[in-house]
Structure 1
Protein backbone atom coordinates (compact mmCIF):
# COMPACT_ATOMS: atom_id res chain seq x y z
CA UNK A 1 0.00 0.00 0.00
CA UNK A 2 2.80 2.44 0.94
CA UNK A 3 4.71 1.63 -2.21
CA UNK A 4 1.63 2.32 -4.33
CA UNK A 5 1.18 5.73 -2.68
CA UNK A 6 4.78 6.68 -3.30
CA UNK A 7 4.55 5.72 -6.93
CA UNK A 8 1.31 7.67 -7.31
CA UNK A 9 2.88 10.82 -5.83
CA UNK A 10 5.86 10.50 -8.15
CA UNK A 11 3.59 10.15 -11.10
CA UNK A 12 1.55 13.19 -10.14
CA UNK A 13 4.69 15.30 -9.71
CA UNK A 14 5.96 14.26 -13.09
CA UNK A 15 2.69 14.68 -14.87
CA UNK A 16 0.92 17.66 -13.35
CA UNK A 17 -2.03 17.57 -15.73
CA UNK A 18 -3.29 14.03 -15.34
CA UNK A 19 -6.50 14.85 -17.11
CA UNK A 20 -4.89 16.54 -20.10
CA UNK A 21 -3.44 15.13 -23.28
CA UNK A 22 -0.07 14.15 -21.69
CA UNK A 23 0.42 10.41 -21.05
CA UNK A 24 -0.52 9.16 -17.62
CA UNK A 25 2.18 7.39 -15.60
CA UNK A 26 1.90 3.61 -15.48
CA UNK A 27 1.74 2.57 -11.84
CA UNK A 28 3.08 -0.88 -12.56
CA UNK A 29 5.95 0.44 -14.66
CA UNK A 30 7.19 2.66 -11.84
CA UNK A 31 6.65 -0.01 -9.21
CA UNK A 32 8.80 -2.38 -11.22
CA UNK A 33 11.59 0.17 -11.61
CA UNK A 34 11.43 1.15 -7.95
CA UNK A 35 11.55 -2.47 -6.82
CA UNK A 36 14.55 -3.08 -9.06
CA UNK A 37 16.39 -0.13 -7.50
CA UNK A 38 15.51 -1.30 -3.99
CA UNK A 39 16.79 -4.80 -4.73
CA UNK A 40 20.05 -3.37 -6.11
CA UNK A 41 20.48 -1.12 -3.07
CA UNK A 42 19.79 -4.01 -0.72
CA UNK A 43 22.41 -6.18 -2.46
CA UNK A 44 24.97 -3.35 -2.29
CA UNK A 45 24.29 -2.74 1.39
CA UNK A 46 24.64 -6.46 2.09
CA UNK A 47 28.05 -6.56 0.37
CA UNK A 48 29.19 -3.46 2.27
CA UNK A 49 28.06 -4.96 5.58
CA UNK A 50 29.96 -8.19 4.87
CA UNK A 51 33.11 -6.24 4.03
CA UNK A 52 32.79 -4.09 7.15
CA UNK A 53 32.39 -7.18 9.32
CA UNK A 54 35.49 -8.72 7.72
CA UNK A 55 37.56 -5.58 8.38
CA UNK A 56 36.36 -5.39 11.98
CA UNK A 57 37.32 -9.03 12.52
CA UNK A 58 40.79 -8.42 11.06
CA UNK A 59 41.37 -5.39 13.27
CA UNK A 60 40.18 -7.29 16.34
CA UNK A 61 42.47 -10.21 15.53
CA UNK A 62 45.47 -7.91 15.17
CA UNK A 63 44.76 -6.11 18.43
CA UNK A 64 44.18 -9.33 20.36
CA UNK A 65 47.08 -11.25 18.84
CA UNK A 66 49.80 -8.63 19.28
CA UNK A 67 50.32 -7.29 22.77
CA UNK A 68 53.89 -6.22 21.98
CA UNK A 69 57.13 -7.97 21.08
CA UNK A 70 60.50 -7.24 22.73
CA UNK A 71 63.44 -9.17 24.11
CA UNK A 72 66.80 -8.56 25.77
CA UNK A 73 69.38 -11.24 26.60
CA UNK A 74 73.11 -11.35 27.32
CA UNK A 75 75.95 -13.86 27.59
CA UNK A 76 76.46 -15.20 31.08
CA UNK A 77 80.21 -15.63 30.54
CA UNK A 78 83.06 -15.18 28.04
CA UNK A 79 82.71 -17.39 24.97
CA UNK A 80 84.92 -18.68 22.18
CA UNK A 81 82.59 -19.62 19.30
CA UNK A 82 83.64 -21.13 16.02
CA UNK A 83 83.32 -19.32 12.70
CA UNK A 84 79.64 -18.68 11.90
CA UNK A 85 78.57 -20.34 15.14
CA UNK A 86 75.39 -18.86 16.58
CA UNK A 87 75.82 -17.05 19.88
CA UNK A 88 73.39 -18.24 22.53
CA UNK A 89 72.54 -15.31 24.79
CA UNK A 90 71.54 -17.45 27.72
CA UNK A 91 70.54 -14.87 30.33
CA UNK A 92 67.09 -13.77 29.30
CA UNK A 93 66.02 -10.51 30.97
CA UNK A 94 63.01 -9.51 28.86
CA UNK A 95 60.96 -11.66 26.52
CA UNK A 96 57.62 -10.01 25.76
CA UNK A 97 55.85 -12.25 23.29
CA UNK A 98 58.13 -15.19 24.15
CA UNK A 99 59.75 -15.19 20.70
CA UNK A 100 63.43 -15.42 21.75
CA UNK A 101 64.85 -18.84 22.61
CA UNK A 102 67.64 -18.72 25.20
CA UNK A 103 68.57 -22.33 24.38
CA UNK A 104 69.44 -21.92 20.70
CA UNK A 105 69.93 -18.14 20.40
CA UNK A 106 67.25 -17.57 17.76
CA UNK A 107 64.46 -15.02 17.73
CA UNK A 108 61.53 -16.43 15.74
CA UNK A 109 59.35 -13.64 14.36
CA UNK A 110 55.80 -13.98 15.78
CA UNK A 111 54.10 -11.37 13.59
CA UNK A 112 54.89 -9.62 10.30
CA UNK A 113 56.31 -6.15 10.75
CA UNK A 114 59.24 -3.79 11.05
CA UNK A 115 61.65 -4.65 13.84
CA UNK A 116 64.78 -3.15 15.38
CA UNK A 117 67.62 -5.42 16.51
CA UNK A 118 70.70 -4.35 18.48
CA UNK A 119 73.94 -6.02 19.50
CA UNK A 120 76.63 -4.85 21.91
CA UNK A 121 79.98 -6.68 21.69
CA UNK A 122 83.03 -6.73 23.98
CA UNK A 123 86.44 -8.10 22.99
CA UNK A 124 88.90 -9.70 25.38
CA UNK A 125 92.41 -8.25 25.66
CA UNK A 126 94.71 -9.02 22.73
CA UNK A 127 91.70 -10.22 20.72
CA UNK A 128 89.59 -8.86 17.88
CA UNK A 129 86.06 -10.11 17.47
CA UNK A 130 83.27 -9.63 14.98
CA UNK A 131 79.69 -10.82 14.87
CA UNK A 132 76.86 -10.59 12.38
CA UNK A 133 73.14 -9.93 12.75
CA UNK A 134 71.49 -12.49 10.49
CA UNK A 135 67.96 -13.04 9.17
CA UNK A 136 67.39 -16.45 7.61
CA UNK A 137 71.03 -16.70 6.59
CA UNK A 138 71.26 -13.15 5.19
CA UNK A 139 73.61 -10.78 7.00
CA UNK A 140 71.82 -7.54 7.91
CA UNK A 141 74.42 -5.92 10.16
CA UNK A 142 77.91 -6.37 11.61
CA UNK A 143 79.74 -5.45 14.80
CA UNK A 144 83.52 -5.43 15.31
CA UNK A 145 85.56 -4.80 18.48
CA UNK A 146 89.37 -4.77 18.34
CA UNK A 147 91.70 -5.17 21.34
CA UNK A 148 94.46 -6.89 19.41
CA UNK A 149 97.10 -4.18 19.87
CA UNK A 150 96.69 -3.76 23.62
CA UNK A 151 95.71 -5.86 26.59
CA UNK A 152 92.47 -4.03 27.19
CA UNK A 153 88.73 -4.40 26.67
CA UNK A 154 87.10 -2.72 23.72
CA UNK A 155 83.42 -2.60 22.84
CA UNK A 156 81.29 -1.91 19.81
CA UNK A 157 77.60 -1.94 19.01
CA UNK A 158 75.27 -1.88 16.05
CA UNK A 159 71.57 -1.87 15.32
CA UNK A 160 69.47 -2.63 12.27
CA UNK A 161 65.86 -1.99 11.27
CA UNK A 162 64.38 -4.65 9.01
CA UNK A 163 61.05 -5.89 7.67
CA UNK A 164 60.53 -9.54 8.60
CA UNK A 165 57.75 -12.10 8.37
CA UNK A 166 56.20 -14.68 10.66
CA UNK A 167 58.57 -17.62 11.16
CA UNK A 168 61.76 -15.79 10.11
CA UNK A 169 64.80 -16.58 12.27
CA UNK A 170 66.96 -13.72 13.54
CA UNK A 171 70.20 -14.48 15.35
CA UNK A 172 73.80 -13.37 15.97
CA UNK A 173 76.77 -15.42 14.80
CA UNK A 174 80.54 -15.05 14.82
CA UNK A 175 81.92 -13.50 11.65
CA UNK A 176 84.65 -15.03 9.49
CA UNK A 177 87.18 -12.25 10.21
CA UNK A 178 87.32 -12.73 13.95
CA UNK A 179 89.14 -14.45 16.78
CA UNK A 180 87.04 -16.23 19.37
CA UNK A 181 87.59 -14.02 22.42
CA UNK A 182 84.17 -12.52 23.17
CA UNK A 183 83.93 -11.01 26.63
CA UNK A 184 80.84 -10.76 28.82
CA UNK A 185 81.40 -9.94 32.48
CA UNK A 186 79.46 -7.99 35.07
CA UNK A 187 82.49 -5.88 35.99
CA UNK A 188 83.66 -5.11 32.44
CA UNK A 189 80.61 -5.22 30.18
CA UNK A 190 77.92 -7.53 28.89
CA UNK A 191 77.72 -8.73 25.30
CA UNK A 192 74.01 -8.66 24.53
CA UNK A 193 71.34 -9.10 21.87
CA UNK A 194 67.98 -7.31 21.87
CA UNK A 195 65.08 -6.60 19.56
CA UNK A 196 61.61 -5.11 19.47
CA UNK A 197 58.66 -4.64 17.17
CA UNK A 198 58.31 -1.14 15.77
CA UNK A 199 55.29 -1.50 13.49
CA UNK A 200 53.08 -4.31 12.24
Structure 2
Protein backbone atom coordinates (compact mmCIF):
# COMPACT_ATOMS: atom_id res chain seq x y z
CA UNK A 1 0.00 0.00 0.00
CA UNK A 2 2.80 2.33 0.85
CA UNK A 3 4.54 1.45 -2.36
CA UNK A 4 1.46 2.32 -4.38
CA UNK A 5 1.12 5.57 -2.59
CA UNK A 6 4.74 6.44 -3.21
CA UNK A 7 4.44 5.55 -6.88
CA UNK A 8 1.38 7.74 -7.17
CA UNK A 9 3.20 10.55 -5.49
CA UNK A 10 6.16 10.19 -7.85
CA UNK A 11 3.85 10.26 -10.85
CA UNK A 12 2.15 13.41 -9.58
CA UNK A 13 5.46 15.10 -8.99
CA UNK A 14 6.67 14.10 -12.43
CA UNK A 15 3.50 15.52 -14.03
CA UNK A 16 3.90 18.71 -12.10
CA UNK A 17 7.53 19.00 -13.17
CA UNK A 18 6.55 18.37 -16.77
CA UNK A 19 3.83 20.98 -16.56
CA UNK A 20 6.20 23.41 -14.89
CA UNK A 21 8.82 22.79 -17.54
CA UNK A 22 6.25 23.25 -20.30
CA UNK A 23 5.04 26.44 -18.61
CA UNK A 24 8.64 27.68 -18.34
CA UNK A 25 9.32 26.91 -21.99
CA UNK A 26 6.15 28.78 -22.93
CA UNK A 27 7.30 31.78 -20.89
CA UNK A 28 10.72 31.63 -22.46
CA UNK A 29 9.16 31.48 -25.93
CA UNK A 30 6.99 34.45 -25.11
CA UNK A 31 9.97 36.37 -23.80
CA UNK A 32 11.97 35.45 -26.91
CA UNK A 33 9.11 36.63 -29.09
CA UNK A 34 8.91 39.89 -27.21
CA UNK A 35 12.66 40.28 -27.47
CA UNK A 36 12.57 39.63 -31.22
CA UNK A 37 9.81 42.21 -31.55
CA UNK A 38 11.86 44.71 -29.60
CA UNK A 39 14.92 44.01 -31.76
CA UNK A 40 12.86 44.47 -34.91
CA UNK A 41 11.44 47.70 -33.55
CA UNK A 42 14.95 48.90 -32.74
CA UNK A 43 16.08 47.98 -36.25
CA UNK A 44 13.20 49.94 -37.74
CA UNK A 45 14.01 52.85 -35.48
CA UNK A 46 17.67 52.72 -36.56
CA UNK A 47 16.60 52.70 -40.20
CA UNK A 48 14.32 55.69 -39.63
CA UNK A 49 17.10 57.47 -37.73
CA UNK A 50 19.57 56.78 -40.54
CA UNK A 51 17.05 58.06 -43.08
CA UNK A 52 16.47 61.18 -40.96
CA UNK A 53 20.22 61.77 -40.65
CA UNK A 54 20.55 61.38 -44.42
CA UNK A 55 17.75 63.91 -44.96
CA UNK A 56 19.38 66.33 -42.52
CA UNK A 57 22.72 65.99 -44.33
CA UNK A 58 21.00 66.53 -47.66
CA UNK A 59 19.26 69.63 -46.27
CA UNK A 60 22.56 70.93 -44.89
CA UNK A 61 24.17 70.43 -48.30
CA UNK A 62 21.25 72.22 -49.92
CA UNK A 63 21.61 75.12 -47.44
CA UNK A 64 25.35 75.32 -48.21
CA UNK A 65 24.64 75.37 -51.95
CA UNK A 66 22.00 78.06 -51.49
CA UNK A 67 24.40 80.14 -49.40
CA UNK A 68 27.08 79.77 -52.08
CA UNK A 69 24.59 80.82 -54.77
CA UNK A 70 23.53 83.76 -52.60
CA UNK A 71 27.16 84.86 -52.20
CA UNK A 72 27.64 84.67 -55.98
CA UNK A 73 24.44 86.65 -56.52
CA UNK A 74 25.57 89.32 -54.04
CA UNK A 75 28.92 89.57 -55.83
CA UNK A 76 27.20 89.89 -59.21
CA UNK A 77 24.80 92.52 -57.87
CA UNK A 78 27.72 94.50 -56.46
CA UNK A 79 29.49 94.29 -59.83
CA UNK A 80 26.35 95.43 -61.67
CA UNK A 81 25.94 98.28 -59.19
CA UNK A 82 29.50 99.43 -59.78
CA UNK A 83 29.00 99.19 -63.55
CA UNK A 84 25.76 101.15 -63.28
CA UNK A 85 27.48 103.86 -61.23
CA UNK A 86 30.31 104.08 -63.77
CA UNK A 87 27.79 104.25 -66.61
CA UNK A 88 25.84 106.94 -64.77
CA UNK A 89 29.00 108.99 -64.29
CA UNK A 90 29.90 108.48 -67.94
CA UNK A 91 26.43 109.57 -69.04
CA UNK A 92 26.64 112.63 -66.81
CA UNK A 93 30.01 113.48 -68.35
CA UNK A 94 28.73 112.88 -71.89
CA UNK A 95 26.86 116.19 -71.97
CA UNK A 96 29.62 118.17 -73.64
CA UNK A 97 29.13 120.95 -76.21
CA UNK A 98 30.55 124.43 -76.69
CA UNK A 99 30.59 127.35 -79.09
CA UNK A 100 32.82 130.38 -78.53
CA UNK A 101 33.57 133.49 -80.55
CA UNK A 102 36.00 136.40 -80.95
CA UNK A 103 34.90 139.95 -80.27
CA UNK A 104 37.78 141.88 -81.88
CA UNK A 105 40.69 141.59 -84.32
CA UNK A 106 43.57 139.30 -83.39
CA UNK A 107 47.09 139.45 -84.86
CA UNK A 108 49.33 139.57 -86.63
CA UNK A 109 52.02 138.31 -84.21
CA UNK A 110 55.66 137.41 -84.75
CA UNK A 111 55.11 133.85 -83.48
CA UNK A 112 52.27 131.33 -83.65
CA UNK A 113 49.80 132.23 -80.92
CA UNK A 114 46.88 130.45 -79.23
CA UNK A 115 43.56 132.04 -80.13
CA UNK A 116 41.51 132.75 -77.01
CA UNK A 117 37.80 133.12 -77.72
CA UNK A 118 36.39 135.27 -74.89
CA UNK A 119 32.74 135.23 -75.90
CA UNK A 120 31.17 132.01 -74.63
CA UNK A 121 27.96 131.28 -76.49
CA UNK A 122 27.54 127.73 -75.14
CA UNK A 123 29.71 125.74 -72.76
CA UNK A 124 27.78 122.68 -71.57
CA UNK A 125 30.03 120.65 -69.31
CA UNK A 126 32.45 123.58 -68.83
CA UNK A 127 35.13 121.82 -70.87
CA UNK A 128 36.22 125.03 -72.64
CA UNK A 129 38.39 127.47 -70.69
CA UNK A 130 37.89 131.07 -71.76
CA UNK A 131 41.15 132.12 -70.03
CA UNK A 132 43.42 129.69 -71.88
CA UNK A 133 41.46 128.99 -75.07
CA UNK A 134 41.78 125.25 -74.41
CA UNK A 135 39.06 122.63 -74.66
CA UNK A 136 39.90 119.70 -72.35
CA UNK A 137 38.12 116.38 -72.95
CA UNK A 138 36.27 115.45 -69.72
CA UNK A 139 35.88 111.81 -70.81
CA UNK A 140 37.36 109.59 -73.49
CA UNK A 141 35.31 109.55 -76.66
CA UNK A 142 34.87 110.72 -80.24
CA UNK A 143 34.39 114.47 -80.67
CA UNK A 144 33.51 116.77 -83.53
CA UNK A 145 35.11 120.22 -83.89
CA UNK A 146 34.41 123.02 -86.33
CA UNK A 147 35.76 126.52 -86.79
CA UNK A 148 35.28 129.54 -89.02
CA UNK A 149 37.72 132.44 -89.35
CA UNK A 150 37.41 135.76 -91.17
CA UNK A 151 39.71 138.66 -91.99
CA UNK A 152 39.14 141.93 -93.83
CA UNK A 153 42.68 143.28 -94.22
CA UNK A 154 43.80 143.69 -97.82
CA UNK A 155 46.99 141.94 -98.92
CA UNK A 156 47.29 139.92 -95.73
CA UNK A 157 47.40 136.23 -94.76
CA UNK A 158 44.52 134.89 -92.72
CA UNK A 159 43.53 131.52 -91.35
CA UNK A 160 43.93 129.29 -88.30
CA UNK A 161 45.27 125.89 -87.25
CA UNK A 162 43.55 123.32 -85.03
CA UNK A 163 45.75 121.46 -82.56
CA UNK A 164 45.26 118.29 -80.53
CA UNK A 165 47.58 118.66 -77.56
CA UNK A 166 50.79 119.93 -79.24
CA UNK A 167 50.16 118.30 -82.61
CA UNK A 168 48.72 120.25 -85.51
CA UNK A 169 45.72 118.46 -86.98
CA UNK A 170 44.86 120.86 -89.80
CA UNK A 171 45.49 124.37 -91.13
CA UNK A 172 43.20 126.49 -93.23
CA UNK A 173 44.45 129.77 -94.70
CA UNK A 174 43.94 132.26 -97.51
CA UNK A 175 45.42 135.45 -98.89
CA UNK A 176 43.12 138.43 -98.92
CA UNK A 177 43.76 140.16 -102.27
CA UNK A 178 40.95 142.63 -101.81
CA UNK A 179 39.84 144.84 -99.01
CA UNK A 180 36.92 142.56 -98.30
CA UNK A 181 35.88 139.85 -95.85
CA UNK A 182 37.72 136.60 -96.54
CA UNK A 183 36.45 133.42 -94.86
CA UNK A 184 37.83 129.91 -94.33
CA UNK A 185 36.31 127.10 -92.31
CA UNK A 186 36.77 123.42 -91.62
CA UNK A 187 35.68 120.60 -89.33
CA UNK A 188 37.17 117.36 -88.05
CA UNK A 189 36.27 114.30 -85.96
CA UNK A 190 38.84 113.43 -83.30
CA UNK A 191 39.19 110.51 -80.93
CA UNK A 192 40.27 111.93 -77.58
CA UNK A 193 41.36 110.41 -74.32
CA UNK A 194 40.29 112.01 -71.07
CA UNK A 195 42.47 115.05 -70.48
CA UNK A 196 43.43 115.63 -74.13
CA UNK A 197 43.42 119.29 -75.16
CA UNK A 198 42.12 120.83 -78.39
CA UNK A 199 42.69 124.49 -79.25
CA UNK A 200 43.11 126.93 -82.14
CA UNK A 201 46.31 128.78 -83.06
CA UNK A 202 46.97 131.79 -85.24
CA UNK A 203 50.09 131.23 -87.40
CA UNK A 204 52.84 133.85 -87.30
CA UNK A 205 52.00 137.01 -89.26
CA UNK A 206 48.39 135.88 -89.77
CA UNK A 207 45.42 137.93 -88.61
CA UNK A 208 41.67 137.50 -88.11
CA UNK A 209 39.00 140.13 -87.67
CA UNK A 210 35.76 140.36 -85.74
CA UNK A 211 33.44 143.16 -84.77
CA UNK A 212 31.53 143.06 -81.53
CA UNK A 213 28.71 140.53 -81.73
CA UNK A 214 28.96 139.60 -85.42
CA UNK A 215 30.69 136.28 -84.53
CA UNK A 216 32.63 135.91 -87.77
CA UNK A 217 35.18 133.77 -85.90
CA UNK A 218 33.65 130.75 -84.21
CA UNK A 219 35.18 127.68 -82.56
CA UNK A 220 32.74 124.85 -81.68
CA UNK A 221 32.83 121.23 -80.58
CA UNK A 222 30.75 118.50 -78.98
CA UNK A 223 30.97 114.86 -77.94
CA UNK A 224 29.58 112.42 -80.50
CA UNK A 225 29.78 109.35 -78.22
CA UNK A 226 31.92 108.18 -75.26
CA UNK A 227 34.38 105.28 -75.48
TM-score interval, smaller chain: 0.7 to 0.9
Unpaired runs of at least 5, structure 2: 1-50
Q: Any residues of structure 2 matched to 1:118-137 within 5 Å, and which?
A: 118-123=146-151, 124-137=153-166
CA deviation map 1:102-145 (0-9, x unaligned): 22211222232221111101133211223211111011222213
TM-score, normalising length: structure 2? 0.66
Is the CA contact 2:128–2:136 (under 8 Å) kept in the aligned structure 1?
yes
Is the CA contact 1:183–1:189 (under 8 Å) kept in the aligned structure 2?
no
Rounded Cα–Cα distance in structure 1 between residues aligned with 2:214 and 2:102 = 13
What's the offset of the Cα at 1:81?
4.1
The partner residue of 2:114 within 71, 78, 86 is 86
Q: Secondary structure at the match of 2:200?
A: strand
Rounded Cα–Cα distance in structure 2 between residues aligned with 1:170 and 1:183 = 22
Would you identify which runs of 4 or more consecutive aligned residues in structure 1 move more than 6 Å? Answer: none
Q: Any residues of structure 2 matched to 1:96-175 within 5 Å, and which?
A: 96-123=124-151, 124-147=153-176, 149-175=177-203
Q: Please tell me whether residue 181 in structure 1 is matched to residue 207 in structure 2.
A: yes
Q: Secondary structure at the match of 1:89?
A: coil
Q: Secondary structure at the match of 1:182?
A: coil
CA deviation map 1:61-111 (0-9, x unaligned): 334x33722211111111114332101112222222222222221122223
Q: Secondary structure at the match of 1:183?
A: coil
Q: What is the aligned partner in structure 2 of residue 8 from structure 1?
A: none
Count of residue correspondences? 173
What's the offset of the Cα at 1:36?
4.2
Cα-Cα RMSD: 2.6
Q: Secondary structure at the match of 1:125?
A: coil
1:39–1:107 Cα change, 3 Å = same
Rounded Cα–Cα distance in structure 1 between residues aligned with 2:129 and 2:120 = 9
